[in-house]
Amino acid sequence: MITEPTSKYLSNTVQSIQPSGIRRFFDLASSMENVISLGVGEPDFVTPWNVIEASYHSLEQGYTAYTANAGLFELRKEISRYMKRRFGVMYSADEEIVVTVGASQAIDIALRAVLNPGEEVIVVEPSFVSYAPTVTLAGGVPVPVNTYSENDFKLQPEQIEEAITDKTKVLMLCSPNNPTGTVLSKDDLERIAEVVEKHDLLVISDEIYAELTYDEPYTSFPAVKNMRDRTILISGFSKAFAMTGWRLGFACGPKTILQAMLKIHQYTMMCAPTMAQHAALEALVNGQKDVVKMKESYRQRRSLVIHALEEMGLSCHVPGGAFYVFPSIEKTGLSSEEFAEQLLMKEQVAVVPGSVFGESGEGHVRCSYATSVQKLEEAMRRIDRFLQTL
Amino acid sequence: MNSTERELLQLIEKNGRLETGTIARLMGITEDETKQILDKLEKEKVILGYSAIIDWTKGTEDGAVTAMIDVKVTPKRGVGFDKVAERIYRFPEVKAVYLMSGVYDLSVSIEGKTMAEVGRFVSEKLSTIDSVISTTTHFILKKYKHDGLVFSDNDEDKRIVVSP
């Protein structure tokens, strides 16, 4: 607990939240030399040049003022077209799309728009580190539901039923998942949709990695029958277009909910950065070929890493999407944190302990393969050497 | 050419030093299959060779001079431009020859130690070929990008070490 005199000024809610376990690891890894990091949760590509150039141009033209609260209308129109073209879901650019500061802000305003104090949100774990704290900050109560490698980390519909109470309001989904890379198939989603409908739940579907799937065609949750009007879709430009630093995301959903989210956005954020919005517009209009190229490169590196892990005897389900593998390190007898720390100290390879993504992440580590082939191969050699010493 | 061959070519076009084992793992095929495809593509002269892209301005005193020369020629009856092109590309100083659309016919790249050396080649060898009507020589002052590679790229990883 914080015991400094000024801590009395802090809200109880904020004090109840722990800093992310990733933070400690970051401090440790940053202090060391010669580290190969597989701990990075973002693409290793620089944003495509045409996108950067479009942003330059917008600045030269003097587009440095606010945009509409919901975002540039041209951008919302393109998002609407994109959602229809890529995922077969229709959203009106006028009232059903809000451009946000990253997908993270979209999740925040979605939760704040729908939660009353004490209402419960089912969070499928292992999950992105922000979900549970964001639920708490919005006054809700996160209810973790664990998934396991036996099921390829797929949520089983009956698990939702078990977690439901009379306070349950929202189910948070993330497919492809960070950290497991698991993709829910059309069939998986339809079975989840049945339970969602039966219990009248709202779904917040984080589909930020949707472009990065390698095996089956992707199904967006709102494209499942009867789900569009009970889903807030969250996406953005960070992963597919290699634009993490631009901080640009968006939310789509039924008008009433999106207008409520817009109210929060308008008072707390005003609008997403204008130069980033101009960049995003170019990404949607002329960026698909780059997405395909980058995706191809991730697919190849996924194959490289899966093969290497297999050779060193670390069992790992084949993740269908994102750029993470989530191998089991149980056979080493170490906790995920011990494993990650010792690997970093002995071989200077940074991975993220699975436990930071929730209880069911224990026994695993997250390795990002969004790094150069040369570094990946060297990292795999070092991990192999590390395993020999145990 | 099938999609596997194309994928392999794209990989080695970017990095000719990729080991067969690495290529195999990246593509999810066996090393033997990889070798077979490479052999086949080499035999069919789809892969003509493996070379390095070098910035000669670094670490060497005797820099090289490259010129691009626009050449107008009279095509030879029966063989068109090909025979003329051959007479030119046989010279070892010539690094590249392309047949062009537009106001001139052949684009010829020449490398020499000095401007005088390149000049001598143009006046003594190239201009004196029967079919050559005229030449316009352009010297390259600075190379920014060659074969898809930027010469002064700052390509270090700018990401933070660990992120969610």
How far, in Å, CA of A307 to CA of B125, rounded?
A: 56
Chain B, window 133-162: residues with a beta carbon less than 8 angstroms from a chain A beta carbon: 157, 159-162
A308 contact B CB<8A: yes
- Tell the residue number behind the tokens 């030399």, with chain if given: A33
Q: Is A344 part of any domain?
A: yes
Kindly report the CATH number assigned to the domain that includes residue B126: 3.30.70.920
Strand pairing report for A365-368 and B106-112? unpaired
- For residues A312-318, give the mean pLDDT: 94
Segment A204-231 shows an average pLDDT of 98
What CATH number should be reported for the domain holding residue A365? 3.90.1150.10
Domain termination site, one of A271, A287, A303: A287
Residue with tokens 């930020």: A208
Instruction: Tell me the sheet residues that pair with A366.
Output: A352
pLDDT score at B151: 84
Residue contact A304–B26, C-beta within 8 A: yes
A337 with A355, same domain: the answer is yes
Residue A239 sits at the chain B interface (C-beta within 8 Å): no
pLDDT tens-digit map of B113-138? 899 999 999 999 999 998 999 999 99
Min Cα separation A197/chain B (Å): 32
Residues in chain B closer than 8 A to A38 (CB atoms): none
- Does one domain contain both B98 and B35? no
Judgement on whether residues A324 and A257 belong to the same structural domain of the protein:
no
Residue A207 placed within a domain: yes
* Inside any domain, residue B119: yes
B9 touches chain A (CB under 8 A): no
Tell me the chain B residues in contact with residue A352 when contact means C-beta distances shorter than 8 Å. 162
Q: Does residue A352 belong to the interface with chain B, where contact is any CB pair within 8 Å? A: yes
The full length of chain A comes to: 390
Q: Which long-range contacts (CB under 8 A, 24 or more apart) does B116-125 make?
A: B117/B65, B118/B65, B118/B67, B118/B93, B121/B91, B121/B93, B122/B67, B122/B69, B125/B91
Q: What is the pLDDT of residue B60?
A: 64
Task: Confirm whether B48 is domain-assigned.
Answer: no
Both B75 and B15 in one domain: the answer is no
pLDDT at B93 over 60: yes
Give dist(CA A299, CA A292) in Å, integer: 10
- CA A110 to CA A265: how far, in whole Å? 10
User: Residues A90, A100: one domain?
Assistant: yes
Which CATH number belongs to the domain containing residue A101 in this structure? 3.40.640.10
Q: Is B11 on the interface with A (CB under 8 A)?
A: yes
The answer as to whether B49 is a domain residue is: no
Contacts 24+ apart (CB under 8 A), A338-343: A339/A365, A340/A25, A340/A365, A341/A28, A342/A386, A343/A382, A343/A383, A343/A386
Per-residue pLDDT, A22: 85
Could you tell me how many residues make up chain B? 164
Report CB contact under 8 Å: B160, A20.
Answer: no
The confidence band for A133, taking pLDDT boundaries of 50, 70 and 90, is: very high
Among the partner-chain residues A22, A300, A301, the one whose CB lies closest to the CB of B162 is: A22
Q: Is residue A2 part of a domain?
A: no
What is the pLDDT, as a whole number, of residue A137? 98
Region A211-217: mean pLDDT is: 97
Do B93 and B128 lie in one domain? The reply is yes
| Domain membership of residue A302 as a residue range | 7-47+289-389
Other CB atoms within a 10 A radius of the CB of residue B93 amount to: 16
Lookup: tokens for A361: 């992440």
Q: Are residues B135 and B73 in the same domain?
A: yes
In a mutagenesis test of the B interface, which of A303, A352, A366 is the best target, namely the one with the most B β-carbons within 10 Å? A303
Tell me, yes or no, if A44 comes closer than 8 A to chain B by beta carbon: yes
Q: What is the mean pLDDT of chain A?
A: 96
Q: Residue B27: closest CA among chain A residues belongs to which residue?
A: A300
Give the least confident one: A225-234, B77-86, B102-111: B77-86
B155 assigned to some structural domain = no
Phi first, then psi: give them for residue A8, nearest 5 degrees. -65, -20
Query: Do A278 and A155 belong to one domain?
Result: yes
List b or e across A246-280, with b for residues whose CB sees 16 or more CB atoms inside 10 angstroms: bbbbbbbbbeebbebbbebbeeebebbbbbbbbbb
* Nearest by CB: B163 against A40, A307, A371: A40
DSSP symbols for chain B? --HHHHHHHHHHHH-TT--HHHHHHHHTS-HHHHHHHHHHHHHTTSS--------TTSS-SS--EEEEEEEEEPPBTTTBTHHHHHHHHTSTTEEEEEE-SSS-SEEEEEEESSHHHHHHIIIIIITTSTTEEEEEEEE----SEETTEETT------S-S---
Does A335 score more than 80 pLDDT? Answer: yes
Q: What is the CATH number of the domain that holds B21?
A: 1.10.10
Instruction: Tell me: do A146 and A156 sit in the same domain.
Output: yes
Q: Compare CB distances from A300 to B27, B159, B161 and report the shortest one's residue.
A: B27
State whether residue B77 sits within 8 Å of chain A by CB. Answer: no
Q: Of the ranges A96-110, A180-194, B26-40, B132-146, which one carries the lowest mean pLDDT score? A: B132-146
Classify residue A22: in a domain, yes or no: yes
Indicate the number of domains in chain B. 2
Q: How confident is the model at residue A114 (pLDDT cuts 50, 70, 90)?
A: very high
Sort out which chain B residues have CB atoms less than 8 A from A20's CB and list them. Answer: 164
**Statement to judge: residues B70 and B135 lie in one domain:** yes
Residues B36, B89, single domain; the answer is: no
Residue at which a domain ends, from A287, A310, A327: A287
Q: What is the rounded average pLDDT of the residues B49-71?
A: 84
Contact (CB, 8 A) for A248 and A272: yes
Contact residues on chain B for A44, CB-CB shorter than 8 A: 157, 159
Residue A378 inside a domain? The answer is yes
Q: Is residue A1 a part of any domain in this protein? A: no
Domain assignment of residue B160, yes or no: no
Of the partner residues B25, B28, B164, the one whose CB lies closest to the CB of residue A128:
B164
Predicted pLDDT of residue A1: 53
A130 reaches B (C-beta below 8 A)? yes
pLDDT reported for residue B59: 65
Q: In what order do the strands lie in the sheet with B106-112?
A: B94-99, B106-112, B65-73, B132-139
Q: Evaluate if residue A376 carries a pLDDT over 80.
A: yes
Could you tell me if A221 and A304 lie in one domain?
no
Q: Is A30 on the interface with B (CB under 8 A)?
A: yes
- Mean pLDDT confidence for B12-41: 96
Q: Domain boundary residue among A287, A305, A322?
A: A287
Same domain flag for A19 and A138: no
In a domain, B39, yes or no: yes
B76 and B133 in a common domain: yes
Judge if A299 and A197 occupy the same domain.
no
Statement to judge: residues A359 and A247 lie in one domain: no
Sorted by sequence, the CB contacts under 8 Å of residue A95 that are 6+ apart come out as A255, A258, A259
pLDDT value at residue A351: 97
Q: What is the residue whose two structure tokens read 């029966």?
A: B78
Q: Let me know whether B72 and B112 are in one domain.
A: yes
Residue B148 banded pLDDT, cuts 50, 70, 90: confident
Extract long-range pairs of B79-85: CB within 8 Å, 24+ residues apart: B81/B105, B81/B106, B84/B129, B84/B131, B84/B132
Same domain, yes or no: A359 and A272 = no
B7: domain range?
3-43
Average pLDDT over residues A148-173: 97
Q: Is residue A55 part of a domain?
A: yes
pLDDT, residue B61, reads 60
- A300 vs B11: CB contact, 8 Å cut-off? yes
Tell me: do B72 and B106 sit in the same domain.
Answer: yes
What single-letter DSSP state applies at residue A46?
P
Same domain, A265 and A293: no
Say if CB A307 and CB A376 are below 8 A apart: no
Residue A39 in contact with residue A352, Cβ under 8 Å?
yes
User: Residue A305's closest CA among A376, A217, A362, A388?
Assistant: A376
Residue A279: pLDDT above 80?
A: yes
Q: Specify if B111 maps to a domain.
A: yes
Q: With an 8 Å Cβ cutoff, are B161 and A371 in contact?
A: no
Site of tokens 């609407």: A80
Asked if residue A251 and residue A178 are part of one domain, the reply reads yes
Residue at B162 is within a domain: no
CA distance A187 to A251: 24
* ipTM surpasses 0.90: no
Q: How many domains does chain A have?
A: 2
Answer yes or no: is pLDDT of B56 > 90: no
Predicted structure pTM score: 0.94
**Residue A27 belongs to a domain:** yes
Least confident of A161-175, A355-369, B51-65: B51-65
Pairwise CB contact (< 8 Å): A350 & B18 = no
Instruction: State the Cα angle at B91 between B88 and B97, rounded to 5°.
Output: 45
Q: Does B18 touch chain A (CB under 8 A)?
A: yes
- Tell which residue, A226, A238, A298, has the closest CA to residue A107: A238
